[in-house]
A = this chain, B = another copy of it.
Amino acid sequence: MPGRVLSIQSHVASGYGGVTAATFPLQVLGYDVDTVNTVQYTNHAGYGRFGGSKTKPEDLEQIFDMMKKNRLLVSTTRVLTGYIPDASSLRAVAKVIIDLRRGRNNDITYLLDPVMGDDDQMYVAEDVLPVYLGTLLPLADIITPNWFETELLTGLKISGVRSIQEALHKLHTVNGVPNIVISSIKVTSESLPTGADDYLLCLTSTLLSTNHDAATSASPATRGRKYSQALSIVHAICFPKIQGYFSGAGDLFSALVLGHFAPGSSRTALADATSLALSTTQAIIASTHKYCSALSEEECPLTDEELDAQDRERRVNRMRARELRIVSEMREICVPSQQLKLAEWETFWECF
């Protein structure tokens, strides 16, 4: 299955996020990875301070043009996009993907991670949203938004199964996305019947091909609608939340979903890829958490916004300690030691 991935996201000199979280795992899985850096920063923004600069949109465009001219994309089989800081950069990225799709590469698999924010905070320019909605989503084979990004993309407040149904329906039918993975939905006993607090839900949804024509021409007015038949195959798993913020975990997860995805192989291709990606990601987060737990309070201070505000170094130290242990846990990339397997949620569309 391995081939050549074009990966477009942020580069950090130190630590794991964007490019550095995605490239090594894909290479270990056997992919050649072409990498275009949308920024070159010293470290991820969670540290509270960073150096470096963005790649200018016109430079991005020039890079893509030359890659095309030198036919460096002729053997590309997969595309992965992550952090793209503004609408102009995003349009340059869209252009190269449209080119790829138009050319002889009809068999390209494009995973779009619509990196815009987390925990109700946006960390890209707001003008990216209409470009994602209007241009990028219709190009994507798979998208991997987090909870907050799902809300941004759909304009819906996600709380409970009914709102997830609406969000999936909208993304599948209005935006024409065939495969959706929403990782890390916070589960509370009120909002979802399947779990308790301190659990997260990971959910995949693959549009049923029989619904595809109807779906792509469906009306956007879906709110309040009842679902008489299943629109998609849904798989899900509840898994224990590991406490703490681990930057780059989403980038790692998305890269692994793309790396493991076997297009056209079966109706469970997305769920199978996601199971492997989730297993590896959880193993690496668990190892990182274990490593941090063994450090002193000075080396890895506990999360405390007030103390952080008094002493910026606390936050920097915590972030540095919590950099994902992707290299030291490389065996977890090939064969995760513990399998988290998504199960089919057969009654999903009948829930209400």
Chain A residues close to B by CB (< 8 Å): 11, 13-15, 20, 23-24, 27-28, 30-37, 40, 42-43, 47, 49-53, 55, 59, 62-63, 65-67, 69-72, 316-317, 320, 327-328, 330
Contact = CB atoms under 8 A, between A and B. Distances in A.
If over half of A's interface residues share one DSSP class (helix, strand or loop), that class is named, otherwise mixed; here it is mixed
30 contacts: A11-B11, A13-B63, A13-B72, A15-B34, A20-B35, A23-B23, A23-B24, A24-B24, A27-B330, A31-B327, A32-B328, A33-B327, A40-B55, A40-B59, A42-B66, A42-B72, A43-B66, A49-B69, A50-B66, A50-B70, A51-B63, A51-B65, A51-B66, A52-B62, A52-B66, A53-B59, A70-B320, A71-B316, A71-B317, A72-B320
B42 A52 contact: no
Contacts of A33: 327
B52 A59 contact: yes
Given A14-B67, A14-B72, A51-B62, 6 more contacts: A11-B37, A14-B34, A14-B70, A27-B327, A47-B70, A52-B59
Contacts of A328: 30, 32
Residue of A30, A34, A72 contacting most chain B CB atoms (<10 Å): A72
